Chains A and B, each alone.
Chain A
């Protein structure tokens, strides 16, 4: 069990550019979550996948944001036409959910995005 990994760890971009982040969950986990965390706040839910299906999206996820999990393994989060307000830590988490298993989410180290 190598844990949840995220790449890159840091990303600095100019306003208007597109960025893409990657998350590799714990291998047997069927659920994958994306969160955004701004300074002084707790994580805010963006979206989640069960296997390859995207089951829920937050109203925070504007049309500039898109997430995929094409084979039910790793996931990508893309932000198009970045704005300074997108600057935040983007966290990924995964869990094994189903049956009588209690959902516990395991978090990756996050990708810190700075939009100049």
Chain B
């Protein structure tokens, strides 16, 4: 069984400020972890994924996430927010074997103020 908890349904930052979106997971087997972004009325786009290689994962648009097994966390960060980063962000976990069906968190809405 696996689950994801995203802390904070809304995160508000100023343009140029650090972005930190929190994700904690639970998995009975070594996990694969993903961050997706969803813009209004669009599907999900993969930002980055962790698949048991390097614990610091770099993704698109300047985002990165660090896998911390001891904290069961996979937080998403970006050093400097841009207005275009405003969107819904989803963390997801899947088992590292079998059907690979991911379980998604409820999402965090990132609001960027000018």
Contact = CB atoms under 8 A, between A and B. Distances in A.
Interface residues of B, number: 25
Interface residues of A, number: 26
Interface in A75-116: 91, 93, 95, 97, 102-110, 112
A107 B99 contact: no
Contacts, number: 57
A21 interface: no
22 contacts: A40-B9, A40-B106, A41-B106, A42-B92, A42-B105, A42-B106, A42-B107, A43-B44, A43-B104, A44-B104, A45-B102, A56-B101, A91-B44, A93-B44, A102-B51, A103-B32, A103-B94, A105-B46, A105-B102, A107-B43, A107-B44, A112-B41
Given A42-B107, A91-B43, A103-B94, 13 more contacts: A41-B107, A45-B103, A48-B99, A56-B99, A93-B43, A102-B49, A103-B100, A104-B34, A104-B46, A104-B49, A108-B43, A109-B43, A110-B42
